[in-house]
Amino acid sequence: MTTIKVNGRDARLDGVPVHTTVLDWLRDRGLTGAKEGCAEGECGACSVLVARPGIDSPTEWTAVNACLLPAASLDGQEIITSEGLGKSTSLHPVQQEMAVRGGSQCGFCTPGFVCSMAAEYYRPARTAPAVSDGCDHEHGPNGFDLHALSGNLCRCTGYRPIRDAAYALGTPSPDDTLATRRSSPPPPPAPTQLSTNGSEFLRPATLPEVLDLLTTRPEARLLAGSTDAGVEVNIRGLRPPLVIAIDRLPELREFDFGAGEVRIGAALTLSEIERLLDGQVPLLGQLFPQFASRLIRNGATIGGNLGTASPIGDTPPALLALDASLVLASARGERVVALAEYFTGYRQTVKAPDELIRSVVIPLPLAPMTAFHKIAKRRFDDISSVAIGYAVEVVDGVVSRARIGLGGVAATPLRARATEEALVGRRWDESTVREAAVVLAAEGTPMDDHRASSAYRSAMLGQSLLRFYAQHLAAEGVSA
């Protein structure tokens, strides 16, 4: 029997179509607080809480987009909706503050805001300082991180009263059941096998089982956070005949910061990686807050972002600058591929149909000068027009090493090798940088589309290098 514990009660999944989203399944059960605003994970009206393995406590209440996840992926798991947080006669502290501070008008977005706010309310060590990433994490006097609400949109209230409600929250009371629930681990993932309407959903228990399946069924769709696949299901009508869930496989969730390398499991979410790194890879520390929203980062995995091979994905430029490699696994064994050699064409890679990404490996030591620049129409929660990752080492005033990763300027993410060659062995000064900026502006094959023109993208490449140089001078206390 397949079930999900919803607001403390078991609910059956038997007979539910494989591609039914958590949102539709909840609403069919009469839990209509979560709503569909965009079906793409951009508005947050569908936010719910899921009990996930924690970093600072055995369980952490994590806010996710219910519109993207298939209900089958939560078999055996535990979720809380806005209805489960409180009732009209006994409001949850988050609901109470939203009400008394005018944080709700039409109410369409309010349940999603409440769930995202509740996830931050229950974050362990909420009053502790945040990771310093230089990307405008705004914290209230109570330690509330406003980035927790970056994936929630409101069309009528305005954000000031919502911020006021967030900053007014205290700490959970000793008898708060959701707070005490954090001290025990979440339910283990249930091996799942569902089949309806010609589609099948499987959650194997081990990585070898997954690899054996890929050997015989290479057309299977691997599912982790579903932040990309969920959009294809909702917007493009994708209905893959076989979906294999890999998000909770222990072999894909390893993390090790060793003496010579950082190894990051492909199924770790971006939120988990950000907290596990704790600022130790500054380039990624700059990237994470600019990658979509917290709701998306709570589901999106680093392996999934690389697996889609999108030319506008945000992690590839940063990882290219870090000289990262991928460990690809199949039933035939494992192999290591440099990320710079991984992409072969538009959404094409060297990964064979029977392979998956097991981990990402970043060599140490890191370059001392790094930066991630994202050019987009919005500062946060937007798709890049251009993304650039820098990792540069200067010894005695001369560039000894340079790695520059680019996104949004070609059919694949790529290394700016001509620009790297124009920098290495030269003095790190304004003259060198200006010459190299001209080279960088000519890298790639940028195109015109609704996000930016090819001329704009080229101009932004050159300006980005000048900005990187100016940032370095500022960090050194030197005026440009």
Asked if residue 479 has pLDDT above 80, the reply is no
Asked if residue 38 has pLDDT above 50, the reply is yes
Lowest pLDDT segment from 192-196, 232-236, 338-342, 386-390 = 192-196
Candidates 178, 172, 120, 125; CA nearest to 145 is: 120
Q: How confident is the model at residue 378 (pLDDT cuts 50, 70, 90)?
A: confident
d(CA 301, CA 307): 10
Q: Which pLDDT belongs to residue 342?
A: 98
Strands 78-80 and 3-6, how do they pair? parallel
Candidates 126, 154, 122; CA nearest to 139 is: 126
Q: Which pLDDT belongs to residue 1?
A: 63
d(CA 8, CA 80): 8
Write down all domains in the chain, each with its CATH number in brackets.
Answer: 3-183 (3.10.20.30), 192-251 (3.30.43.10), 368-480 (3.30.390.50)
The side-by-side arrangement of strands in the sheet containing 325-330 is 255-257, 261-265, 356-363, 325-330, 333-338
Measured in Å, how far apart are the chain's first and last C-alpha atoms? 66
Across 251-290, the runs of DSSP E, i.e. the strands, are: 255-257, 261-265
Q: Are 33 and 83 in contact (CB under 8 A)?
A: yes
Q: Which helix (H) or strand (E) holds 31?
A: none
Q: How confident is the model over 445-458, as a mean pLDDT?
A: 94
Q: pLDDT for 123-171, tens place per residue? A: 998 875 444 444 456 788 899 999 999 999 998 888 999 999 999 999 9
User: Tokens at residue 104, please?
Assistant: 């709700």
Mean of pLDDT over the chain:
94
Radius of gyration, alpha carbons of the chain:
23
Q: pLDDT for 254-271, tens place per residue? A: 999 999 999 999 999 999
Burial grade of 167 (CB within 10 A; 0-12, 13-18, 19 or more): middle
Q: How confident is the model at residue 480 (pLDDT cuts 50, 70, 90)?
A: low
Candidates 461, 471, 458, 381; CA nearest to 428 is: 471
Q: pLDDT for 46-95, tens place per residue? A: 999 999 999 999 999 999 999 999 999 999 999 999 999 998 899 999 99
Q: Which pLDDT belongs to residue 136?
A: 52
Q: pLDDT for 178-224, tens place per residue? A: 999 999 999 988 888 999 988 999 999 999 999 999 999 999 999 99
Asked if residue 359 has pLDDT above 80, the reply is yes
d(CA 329, CA 387): 29
Asked if residue 34 has pLDDT above 80, the reply is yes
Across 118-260, the runs of DSSP E, i.e. the strands, are: 192-196, 199-203, 221-223, 242-245, 255-257
Q: pLDDT for 402-423, tens place per residue? A: 999 999 999 999 999 999 999 9
d(CA 64, CA 292): 13
Could you give the maximum distance between any two Cα atoms of the chain, in Å? 71
Angle value at C-alpha 454, between 291 and 236, nearest 5 degrees: 55
pTM, 2 dp = 0.95
Distance of CA 121 to the CA centre of its chain: 20
Asked if residue 337 has pLDDT above 70, the reply is yes
Candidates 107, 80, 90, 123; CA nearest to 162 is: 107
Number of H helices, E strands in the chain: 16, 20
d(CA 189, CA 4): 11
Q: How confident is the model over 335-343, as a mean pLDDT?
A: 98
Q: Which pLDDT belongs to residue 134?
A: 43
Candidates 218, 387, 235; CA nearest to 305 is: 387
> Which stretches of 195-280 are DSSP H helices?
207-216, 229-235, 270-277
Q: How confident is the model over 276-289, as a mean pLDDT?
A: 96
